[in-house]
Amino acid sequence: MMIQEITIVSTVNEIAENTYQAKLIAPKIASVCKPGQFINILPSETWKSVMRRPMSIAGQNGDEIQIIFKVVGKGTQIMSRWKSNDKVDIIGPLGNFWSGLEDKLPILLGGGVGIAPILYLHNFLNENSISHYLVMGAKTKCEHFICHNPEDRVLLTTDDGSIGIHGTVIDGLKNILYQPKDIAEMKIFACGPPMMNKFVKRFAIENDIECYIALETLMACGFGNCQGCAVERNVDNKTDHSYRQKYALVCKDGPIFNAKDIVKC
Ligand SMILES: Cc1cc2nc3c(=O)[nH]c(=O)nc-3n(C[C@H](O)[C@H](O)[C@H](O)COP(=O)(O)OP(=O)(O)OC[C@H]3O[C@@H](n4cnc5c(N)ncnc54)[C@H](O)[C@@H]3O)c2cc1C
Ligand code: FES
């Protein structure tokens, strides 16, 4: 179900270095959205670009949805300056969502702006009392906004070792796997920058762990028209398949894929 909704900005706060959290009153979308899905945003009424800006839903509470974003260009700069009661035009919820949450022990891995959908999934699992691990990675402690709390199965990693485990989310993951757990009983849910996704995918395949990754590929239309978000699928014989069997669209078939089903994250 795809809904266009004029939402009201509730709050916008800088929660970490160059990282903003915006809460939008969006009753229609809030009533149906699920962890892993995204919205397509018109940053302002005078936005000149034909392309909206895709953002993962980072949380839902009653009539409100949250997004968490980094300012990288014009659209996100406008969004960081939204004021309470501003009206914002969004379309959503778009894309597929994480499922099979109770089949195995979920291991959640988030990095960069990929923390947004992973945080939504983390809170959803907590609300439904589904035991899981959360590993959040960043370059340095200034980019983190939750606490390192191994007792509660929440692990932070930093490239520079300024907080939590020194290293990447893979080091956080190894920290969990070194505990006596059966790998076959675990399932990874991940979202992060392409480099992180690449290593998570490789680690999961090498260790035979089921793994579902949400991709945040560059997008244009956001609903399957432009083919701008195509990713190559893993198919046995390339010549025997149609274009759609060989390529998936992140906006329509994703953003979540089984890591072994796509060639490159
Ligand atoms: C499904 C999906 C979910 C997303 N969720 C989030 C989220 O929760 N939080 C968040 O901060 N961002 C998220 N993104 C990325 C976000 O859409 C872009 O950062 C945003 O569109 C940039 O808009 P802009 O006008 O500020 O920057 P632009 O002026 O369009 O671009 C500025 C720079 O950012 C780069 N850039 C633009 N889009 C992306 C992208 N998708 N990935 C990597 N680099 C990009 C451009 O190449 C350029 O170098 C998501 C993207 C997708 C496809
Ligand atoms: S963004 Fe246009 S087809 Fe996916």
- Spatial distance between the Cα atoms of 183 and 83, rounded to a whole number of angstroms: 46
Angle at 105 between CA 100 and CA 109, to 5 degrees: 90
Residue 210's CATH number: 3.40.50.80
Write out the DSSP string of 93-149: EES-----TTTSEEEEEEEGGGHHHHHHHHHHHHHTT---EEEEEESSGGG--S--B
**In terms of domains, do 112 and 243 share one?**
yes
**Is 66 in contact with 38 (CB distance < 8 Å)?**
no
Which of 40, 69, 94 represents a domain boundary (last residue)? Answer: 94
**In terms of domains, do 145 and 201 share one?**
yes
**In terms of domains, do 197 and 233 share one?**
yes
Helices (H) and strands (E) in the chain, counts: 6, 16
Q: What's the structural domain count of the chain?
A: 2
What pLDDT, in 10s, does the model give residues 186-206?
999 999 999 999 999 999 999
Which of 62, 94, 126 represents a domain boundary (last residue)? Answer: 94
* Residue recorded with tokens 């793994």: 211
- Closest Cα to residue 152, out of 199, 99, 108? 108
Residue 95 in contact with ligand 2 by CB distance below 6 A:
no
Residues at CB less than 6 angstroms from ligand 1: 38, 53-56, 67-70, 72-76, 113, 116, 216-219, 255
Chain-centroid distance of CA 84 in Å reads 25
**In terms of domains, do 121 and 251 share one?**
yes
Any domain includes 99? no
Which of 94, 124, 154 represents a domain boundary (last residue)? Answer: 94
**In terms of domains, do 240 and 141 share one?**
yes
What pLDDT, in 10s, does the model give residues 29-71?
999 999 999 999 999 988 888 789 999 999 999 999 999 999 9
- Spatial distance between the Cα atoms of 51 and 80, rounded to a whole number of angstroms: 18
Our mutation pick for probing the ligand 1 site, out of 37, 49, 72, 79, counting the most ligand atoms within 8 A of Cβ, is 72
- Spatial distance between the Cα atoms of 187 and 202, rounded to a whole number of angstroms: 14
Residue 220 in contact with ligand 2 by CB distance below 6 A:
yes
**In terms of domains, do 37 and 153 share one?**
no
**In terms of domains, do 59 and 166 share one?**
no
Secondary structure of residue 34 in the 3-state scheme: coil
Any domain includes 140? yes
Which pTM does this prediction carry?
0.94
- Spatial distance between the Cα atoms of 2 and 225, rounded to a whole number of angstroms: 15
CA of 244 to the centre of ligand 1 (A): 25
What pLDDT, in 10s, does the model give residues 104-161?
999 999 998 889 999 999 999 999 999 999 999 999 999 999 999 999 999 999 999 9
**In terms of domains, do 241 and 130 share one?**
yes
Any domain includes 100? no
